[in-house]
Amino acid sequence: MHSTSLSTLHTGETATIVAIHADEALHQRLLAMGFRTGKRVELIRRARFSGPLQVRIGTTDILLRKIEAEKITVHRA
Amino acid sequence: MKRIALLGMPNTGKSTLFNRMTGASARVGNWPGITVELLAGKILLGGDMVEIVDLPGIYDLHGFSDDEQVVRHFLHDNVPDIALVVLNATQIERQLSLLLQLKQLNLNMVVLLNMADEARKYGITIDTARMSEALGIPIFLLSAKYGTGYGEAMQAVTRALRYTTPGLAENLRDQLKPDGQIEAEMAHVLQHSVQVPARLPDNLTNQLDHLMLHPWLGLPIFFGIMYLLFQAIFLFGQPLQTGVNDLFSWLREAAITPLLASLPAVLQGLLLDGVYNGVATVAAFVPLIVLFFLFMAIVEDTGYLSRAAFLMDALMGRMGLDGRSFVMLLMGFGCNVPALMGTRVMRSRPLRLLSMLVIPFSLCSARLQVFVFITAALFSPKAAPLVLFSLYLFSFASAILTALLFKRYFPNTEPFVLELPPYRFPTLRQMVLRGWHEVSHFIHRATKFIVTGVILVWLLTHLPPSAAPASAGTLAGMIGAWLHPLFAPIGITSELTIALIFGFVAKEIVIGALAVIYGLGGQALSHTLALQLDWVQAYSFMLFTLIYTPCLATVATLRSESKRISFMLFSIGWSLALAWLASFMFYQGAKVLGY
């Protein structure tokens, strides 16, 4: 098991969040959206032209840009 | 009077509950300690009048986003007798964090777990009695949309009104426990009262998204939907707008003119063409705004707006905007005014301001009327569609250029981490209330400004009384002559300059103004324009008309939505400068090329 960033997941892949390296404002927002260590996250789809990612945590679907997804470290399931 | 504040995360149906509680009685108002206006309504609850305030949706009480600061300052300066906390029952697992933060402030709270119907469909079970016991707060399941559980919830609120209002600490942020502690508490509460199935049923939203967000079909579908909305606003909006105009002209002929007949001519003109026309101008926007927000409510409440953000973000992100700005920009092609008001969905102020700077370049239906008339007069039927198409390209180009030039002055403060809500059906009641609130907001904020502007332009074009209206002898004519050195290099004659001064009020009246200026109408005006102007001049005039300030209503909206006169002035100044530059480059370029 090796850790990687959320942005490298493939469509349909599930992973577990191990760390979030973001500044305070982004960190707070991610927490409120349900990004917490230990939570499972699934990459649903990516937009074309390196657009945002759609991920699912529990019952919430979230859009985030690649640059933000790179700040979230995950363990592939 | 007792005060109830509605609190919760975005997309929890908080506004739906607010609408259910207050109906059409809600008004926007100012509050101590904060600079934004909030929607509030007074209702009778348990025999007493209470005021309900809809606070902006927030994710976190810690945060520094505009909305989070507004909520903190509001709570500090206007301690509510009850904080009515609305949580999305389907997302209780994560939304509980906000409730636990609020709990630390020792507010008098009642909690409503909204969208209980959706939670049931997902197979989520919540034991409200146990949760209530664990937290020491009354908690109820509710469907604000369909009203299930509403009566019971209101009874609980009425009971809670009897408690005394608590005092609040000086610095709210300091009172909050560290996140780790909240996390442990969350886990504890959830473990005993909430059950979420391990795998959610594959629902309609997933299937729809498969199509709507399809890698190849997503964008064509998006543009198709936008095209349909745009056509619908045209199709229904034009006749309604004409209807309102006809009604006002009829009223003018039948009642107002005879009533004022005894007054001196100048005063008659001022009252009829100034004040009355000003009011008529405001009224003409009403059907457009209602229609726009009817459609906007559909796009937003169904959840499609977030999908549009997903599809368009790759492109718009480079311009410092996001997908939602693009939707508003497109809607601006119908009418700039509601599109500017619609930017309120974007919660980051710099992002909103940049979007508002860009939207006025959208070639709206009023400008299209001017261009259709002039192209018909000066260009062959074969060239006319190309000319119109090129103007649309210039419209987009101006918007993109503006965004690229100014994006670094409006750095987005809010991270682009958006929720993608499931598709939902908006209710008719929600849509109608939305339209009603927006129209009353517009009338309330813009009427004085627009009427004053119309009067001012009337005075400029009709004073001194000795000069013929809109002639060279009027103040406007003098300004036109004075500005001649500026407008000659872009091929715009002094007659056309006067028309541009009129055009500041509204583009709908530009052709009418030309008719007054030349003393000719219809076919005769077309012929005269064709004789007096060459096509390069006419195109330069159209470019200028496209890019400079769209109309007084847009200016009034820029001011009321940004709440900064400096921003409004900047938008006017920049659009004038860009209009002049574009016309200059086109006119001089064409001259050099020998046209």
Question: What residues does each domain of chain A span?
Answer: 3-76
Structure tokens at B435: 């339209």
Note the pLDDT of residue B463: 82
Task: List the domain range (segments joined by +) for residue B520.
Answer: 448-592
| B60 part of a folded domain | yes
Note the pLDDT of residue B545: 96
B459 and B354 housed in the same domain: no
Determine, for residues A28 and B59 on separate chains, whether the beta-carbon distance falls below 8 Å. yes
Of residues B215, B419, B422, nearest to A33 (C-beta): B419
Largest CA distance in chain A: 31
B544 and B455 housed in the same domain: yes
Terminal C-alpha separation, chain A:
8
Q: What residue type is assigned to position B243 of the chain?
A: G
Residue A69 has pLDDT above 90, yes or no: yes
| B511 part of a folded domain | yes
- As a whole number, the mean pLDDT across chain B is 88
Q: How far is CA A21 from CA A9, A25, B543, B552, in A?
A: 17, 11, 49, 48
DSSP state of A9: P
Is the ipTM, as predicted for this complex, more than 0.90? Answer: yes
B135 and B221 housed in the same domain: no
H or E stretch at B150: helix B150-160
B164 and B221 housed in the same domain: no
B581 Cβ contact partners less than 8 Å away, ≥ 6 residues apart? none
Q: What is the Cβ-side half-sphere exposure of residue B382, based on CA atoms within 13 angstroms? A: 0
DSSP state of B548: S
| B149 part of a folded domain | yes
Note the pLDDT of residue B393: 94
| B388 part of a folded domain | no
Of residues B315, B317, B415, nearest to A29 (C-beta): B415
Closest CA to B72 of B165, B169, B2, B3: B169
B303 and B229 housed in the same domain: yes
A57 touches chain B (CB under 8 A): yes
**pLDDT band, very low/low/confident/very high, at A1 (cuts 50, 70, 90):** low
Pairwise CA distance, residues B243 & B249, whole Å: 10
Of residues B65, B179, B218, nearest to A31 (C-beta): B179
Note the pLDDT of residue B169: 64
H or E stretch at B301: helix B277-301
H or E stretch at B457: helix B428-462
Indicate if the alpha-carbon torsion angle B512, B513, B519, B523 is positive or negative.
negative
Closest CA to B526 of B542, B536, B508, B538: B538
**β-strands B2-8, B82-88 pairing:** parallel
Which residues are B8's β-sheet partners?
Answer: B86
| B512 part of a folded domain | yes
B578 and B469 housed in the same domain: yes
Q: What is the Cβ-side half-sphere exposure of residue B415, based on CA atoms within 13 angstroms? A: 26
A44: which chain B residues are within 8 Å (Cβ-Cβ)? 209
Q: How far is B315 from chain A (nearest CA, A)?
A: 8
Of residues A30, A59, A65, nearest to B122 (C-beta): A59
* Interface residue of A60, A62, A71, A72 to substitute, partner B, most B CBs within 10 Å: A60
B275 touches chain A (CB under 8 A): no
Among residues B195, B222, B245, the one where a domain terminates is B195
| B230 part of a folded domain | yes
Pairwise CA distance, residues B397 & B390, whole Å: 10
Cis ω for the linkage preceding B464 (within 30 of 0): yes
CATH of span A3-76 = 2.30.30.90
Largest CA distance in chain B: 86
A28: which chain B residues are within 8 Å (Cβ-Cβ)? 59-60, 62-63
B21 and B153 housed in the same domain: yes
| B77 part of a folded domain | yes
Pairwise CA distance, residues B312 & B325, whole Å: 9
Torsions phi, psi for B127 (to 5 deg): -90, 95
Pairwise CA distance, residues B498 & B505, whole Å: 12
By CA distance, what is B213's nearest residue in A?
A47
Q: What is the Cβ-side half-sphere exposure of residue B249, based on CA atoms within 13 angstroms? A: 6
Structure tokens at B161: 């009104």
Burial bucket for residue A70 (CB in 10 Å: 0-12, 13-18, 19+): middle
A66: which chain B residues are within 8 Å (Cβ-Cβ)? none
H or E stretch at B353: helix B349-358
Number of domains in chain B: 3
**β-strands B109-114, B82-88 pairing:** parallel
| B202 part of a folded domain | no
In CATH, what number is assigned to the domain containing residue B165?
3.40.50.300
B26 and B160 housed in the same domain: yes
Q: Are A26 and A71 in contact (CB under 8 A)?
A: yes
A47 touches chain B (CB under 8 A): yes
B162 and B250 housed in the same domain: no
Q: How distant is the alpha carbon of residue B118 from its chain centre?
A: 29
User: pLDDT 10s digit of each residue in chain B, 595 long?
Assistant: 899 999 999 889 898 999 999 987 888 878 887 878 888 999 998 888 999 999 999 998 887 788 898 999 999 888 899 999 999 999 998 999 999 999 988 889 999 999 999 999 888 999 999 999 999 999 999 999 999 999 999 999 999 888 877 776 666 667 676 777 888 888 888 888 888 887 666 678 889 999 999 999 999 999 999 888 878 877 888 888 889 989 998 998 998 889 888 888 888 888 888 888 888 888 888 888 888 888 888 888 888 989 998 999 988 888 888 888 888 898 888 889 999 999 988 888 999 999 999 999 999 888 988 898 899 889 988 888 899 999 999 999 999 999 999 999 998 777 888 899 989 888 888 888 888 888 888 888 788 888 888 888 888 888 888 888 888 889 989 998 999 999 999 999 988 998 898 898 888 888 888 888 887 777 888 888 999 999 999 999 999 999 999 999 999 999 999 999 999 999 999 999 999 999 999 999 999 998 8
Cβ atoms < 10 Å from Cβ of B134: 17
DSSP state of A3: E
